[in-house]
């Protein structure tokens, strides 16, 4: 009888908690969205499966001594995984559209306004009667970065400022990146007229090879002078782009674009999934994170479009304000959404390359904003 009782105690059935069952259901939902709906499958598949495994009782795989726990400590607590992802993003990204029209940096900068607005809102929740949310400045900063629609940046900042909220922040960031085609178009149509959406922009000028090589150095130099706290993210982004544009290290460029970023994506997703345990995720704070993240993303889209309208007026109608929505750094999905909405207004209106300028500016902007938030929160 004692042996049977020990066998029963070693089984999962008597050890499941309701929180674990709920989280396993949530992980199944993430896997469904990734596989059936193709919402950010590269991240949501490993995140969902990592959450599924980590909520199986008695395994310990997500604990400090488990496989996922050790991956988390090595790759996320140290910030290595997000930085390697940024190197891969730099190697995959063509900055030519931004170099050809530097003014689109303003659109990328304007789209970051949602981050700071949400930061203030998250801190202000503490003063509203009846609200049980009490986010610190560090936690509010980590939540607000969701509005940049940049998963690696969100993970990098959360791992330093709010590690206990990392799971919810990562899921929210990648979920809203996946929902770009659903969230952005209504905001874009609401803030623009048919005439503005139909504007056909002039072809971008050719960008020389020398300009492409010098661009990473210029960006890194400005970062070093003005905001060293953002140098890790900006540095890896520009290094990856230099590998792409140098033309003499094709093997390294291909490795950064393929093997390295693919392996790191798997490891990062599994490690983030291990943070989705019931005691961490099923809280009122998680609901607040999801709502504040959505608010940040919507405000960022709106302010980007508004800046686009300003540029439309200043240039006498030469800039299509829709490209401002690409200022959030969901590359290249936001640019594709801009192109789609532009084609709806004018079948001959191809905005993809024009939207890539503010889109890659948004990548730089989100990294810079992360540096600013690190400085504001008092973290070196």
Q: Does 333 map to a domain?
A: yes
**At 148, is the pLDDT very low, low, confident or very high (cuts 50, 70, 90)?**
confident
Q: Does 9 map to a domain?
A: no
State the DSSP code for 173: H
The answer to whether 97 and 313 have CB atoms below 8 angstroms apart is no
Tokens at 348, concatenated: 């001959």
Predicted pLDDT of residue 291? 86
Domain residues for the domain of 134 are 77-242+277-376
Distance linking the first and last C-alpha atoms of the chain: 59
Q: Does 30 map to a domain?
A: no
Predicted pLDDT of residue 265? 94
Q: Compute the mean pLDDT over every residue in the chain, rounded to the nearest whole number.
A: 89
Q: Is 316 left (phi over 0), alpha (psi -120 to 50) or beta?
A: left
Q: Does 256 map to a domain?
A: no
Q: Does 287 map to a domain?
A: yes
Assess whether the previous peptide bond of 191 is cis (omega < 30° from 0): no
Predicted pLDDT of residue 212? 96
Q: Does 184 map to a domain?
A: yes
**At 151, is the pLDDT very low, low, confident or very high (cuts 50, 70, 90)?**
confident
Average pLDDT over residues 75-91: 93
**At 325, is the pLDDT very low, low, confident or very high (cuts 50, 70, 90)?**
very high
Tokens at 212, concatenated: 């492409």
Alpha-carbon span 311 to 346, nearest angstrom: 20
Q: Does 37 map to a domain?
A: no
Average pLDDT over residues 123-139: 74
User: Residue 257: which of 265, 149, 267, 78 has the closest Cα?
Assistant: 265
Q: Does 58 map to a domain?
A: no
Number of other CB atoms surrounding residue 232 within 10 Å: 19
Count the domains in the chain.
Answer: 1
The answer to whether 310 and 317 have CB atoms below 8 angstroms apart is no
Tokens at 108, concatenated: 């990328």
Long-range contacts of 191-196 (CB under 8 A, 24+ apart): 191/302, 191/305, 191/306, 191/309, 191/321, 192/305, 192/309, 192/321, 192/322, 194/345, 196/309, 196/312, 196/320, 196/321, 196/322
Predicted pLDDT of residue 380? 46
Predicted pLDDT of residue 214? 97
What is the pTM for the complete model shown? 0.89
Site of tokens 């020389």 = 208
User: Residue 321: which of 204, 199, 147 has the closest Cα?
Assistant: 199
The answer to whether 355 and 204 have CB atoms below 8 angstroms apart is no
Average pLDDT over residues 199-219: 95
Residue pLDDT, tens place only, 246-262: 999 999 999 999 999 99
Average pLDDT over residues 34-39: 88
**At 132, is the pLDDT very low, low, confident or very high (cuts 50, 70, 90)?**
low
Cα angle 350-340-329, degrees, rounded to a multiple of 5: 95
Dihedral sign computed on CA atoms, order 83, 84, 87, 92: negative
């Amino acid at each position: 009888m004692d042996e049977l009782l020990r066998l029963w105690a070693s089984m999962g059935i008597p050890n499941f908690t309701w929180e674990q069952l709920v989280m396993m259901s949530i992980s199944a939902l993430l896997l469904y969205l990734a596989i059936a709906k193709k919402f950010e499958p590269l991240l949501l598949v490993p995140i969902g499966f990592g959450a599924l495994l980590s909520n199986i009782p008695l395994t310990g795989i997500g604990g400090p001594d488990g496989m996922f726990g050790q991956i988390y400590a090595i790759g996320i607590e140290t910030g290595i995984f997000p930085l390697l992802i940024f190197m891969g993003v730099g190697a995959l990204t063509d900055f030519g559209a931004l170099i050809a029209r530097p003014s689109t940096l303003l659109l990328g900068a304007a789209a970051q306004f949602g981050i700071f607005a949400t930061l203030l809102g998250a801190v202000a929740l503490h003063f509203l009667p009846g609200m049980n949310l009490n986010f610190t400045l560090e936690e509010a900063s980590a939540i607000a970065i969701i509005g940049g629609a940049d998963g690696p940046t969100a993970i990098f900042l959360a791992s330093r400022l709010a590690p206990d909220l990392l799971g919810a922040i990562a899921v929210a960031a990648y979920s809203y990146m996946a929902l770009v085609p659903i969230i952005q178009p209504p905001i874009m149509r609401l803030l623009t007229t048919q005439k503005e959406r139909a504007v056909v922009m002039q072809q971008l000028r050719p960008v020389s090879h020398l300009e492409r090589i010098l661009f990473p150095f210029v960006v890194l130099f400005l970062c070093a002078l003005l905001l060293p706290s953002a140098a890790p993210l900006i540095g890896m982004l520009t290094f990856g782009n230099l590998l792409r544009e140098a033309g003499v290290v094709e093997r390294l460029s291909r490795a950064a674009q393929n093997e390295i970023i693919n392996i790191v994506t798997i490891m990062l997703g599994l490690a983030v999934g291990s943070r989705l345990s019931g005691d961490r995720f099923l809280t009122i704070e998680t609901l607040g994170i999801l709502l504040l993240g959505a608010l940040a993303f919507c405000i960022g889209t709106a302010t980007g479009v508004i800046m686009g309208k300003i540029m439309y007026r200043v240039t006498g109608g030469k800039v299509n304000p829709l490209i401002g929505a690409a200022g959030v750094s969901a590359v290249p999905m936001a640019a594709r959404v801009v192109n789609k909405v532009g084609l709806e207004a004018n079948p001959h209106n191809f905005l993809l390359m024009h939207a890539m300028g503010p889109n890659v500016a948004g990548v730089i902007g989100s990294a810079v904003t992360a540096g600013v938030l690190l400085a504001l929160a008092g973290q070196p």
